[in-house]
Amino acid sequence: MNNDSGLIAFMQRFPDDSACRRELEARRWPNGPICPHCEGGKACYPIKGAKSRPGLYKCGACRKQFTVTVGTIFEDSHIGLQRWFLVVYLMGSSKKGMLAHQIHRSLGVTYETAWFMCHRIREAMRTRAFRGLLLGTVEADETYVGGHRHGKRGRGAAGKTIVFGMVEREGNVHAVSVPDVRKSTLHPIIKERVAKGSRFMTDELYSYRGLGRDFEHGVVQHSAREYVAGKDIHVNTQEPFWALLKRGVVGTFHHISKDKMDWYCGEFGFRYNTRKVTDGERFTDALTNCDGRLRWYFKSEAAA
């Protein structure tokens, strides 16, 4: 799909659920159907007949039936694949995110259904976004998202969600919500996600001390109004991602509950990490990595 193909060409490419199912089968099973129950391959065959639903297969090894949606974010959904595909495309192409209310109005589904669809897709996006180690020159920074301090203005963590982020220069980002910025909280995340021996850039926060044992650690002194130390010691690469995340929160979602922040970090991280490809290629990337599903359900008081 070309960059200028847009939504109309996307809908022409997927005019019905059957076209979507064939695309999903091609992405998940490039070498033929694989049973999700026993991972059998060659013994799987389609079930045909007037009473059989399209895309139904049976495994000759374990004798269980399945479709291509089993084990994916689309499993056990009464919403057709065409609508699912459209939501995946819209969320992938909207830089500041897509509100569930907008999905609800545009697709003609209930708000509860739209909300759950969006979170299932975010689960797939965050799984895809944060695979692999960060390496090379990596910057780390923390930010405070949301919250409202009554009668006060300015910076601070009161009522806000802390998000810790790491980004490769010219590469990928990894962001996750954290309960605090203590050394005991940040160091395990850093060591898990960053390849040992990488160049690691931070500000002077005390919690970053001791990283020199595993990384080439560069520090910039923000408290002294220093924003670049030497030739290339800085954490400025992280700022564009923070700007996108915060604009999405303020301009689109308005509020994100702390227990859901990781899903939104995954969504914004997926778009950032695929920023150099077209909307169509980003959709294909999300579709290829749609395994897994959420098993909690809508609650009106946690709908953010």
Does residue 157 belong to any structural domain of this protein? yes
pLDDT at 297 over 80: no
pLDDT at 2 over 90: no
pLDDT at 243 over 90: yes
How high is the pLDDT of residue 132? 82
pLDDT at 299 over 80: no
How high is the pLDDT of residue 150? 52
How high is the pLDDT of residue 130? 72
Does residue 265 belong to any structural domain of this protein? yes
Distance CA 122, CA 245 (A): 14
pLDDT at 301 over 50: no
Does residue 302 belong to any structural domain of this protein? no
How high is the pLDDT of residue 302? 39
pLDDT at 23 over 90: yes
pLDDT mean over 153-175: 84
Q: Which 3 state secondary structure label does DSSP give 44?
A: strand
Dump pLDDT digits (tens) for 284-296.
988 888 887 666 5
How high is the pLDDT of residue 41? 64
pTM of the predicted model as reported, rounded to 2 decimal places: 0.87
Burial call 199-210: b when 16+ CB within 10 Å, e when fewer: bbbbbebebbee
pLDDT at 158 over 80: no
pLDDT at 298 over 80: no
Does residue 178 belong to any structural domain of this protein? yes
Does residue 258 belong to any structural domain of this protein? yes
Q: Give the rounded percent of residues in the chain with a pLDDT score beyond 90.
A: 64
Q: What length does the chain have?
A: 304
Share in percent of the chain as helix, strand, coil (round to 5): 40, 15, 45
pLDDT mean over 23-33: 92
pLDDT at 153 over 60: no
Nearest to 199 by CA among 252, 207, 287, 190: 190
Range of 183's domain? 137-273
pLDDT at 42 over 80: no
Q: Which residue type sits at 181?
A: V
Dump pLDDT digits (tens) for 58-80.
998 889 999 999 989 999 889 99
Distance CA 140, CA 147 (A): 22
Does residue 148 belong to any structural domain of this protein? yes
Query: pLDDT category, 231, cuts 50, 70, 90?
Result: confident
Does residue 299 belong to any structural domain of this protein? no
CATH of the domain at 206: 3.30.420.10
* Mean of per-residue pLDDT scores for the chain: 87
Q: How many domains does the chain have?
A: 1
Distance CA 101, CA 7 (A): 19
Does residue 182 belong to any structural domain of this protein? yes
pLDDT at 17 over 90: yes
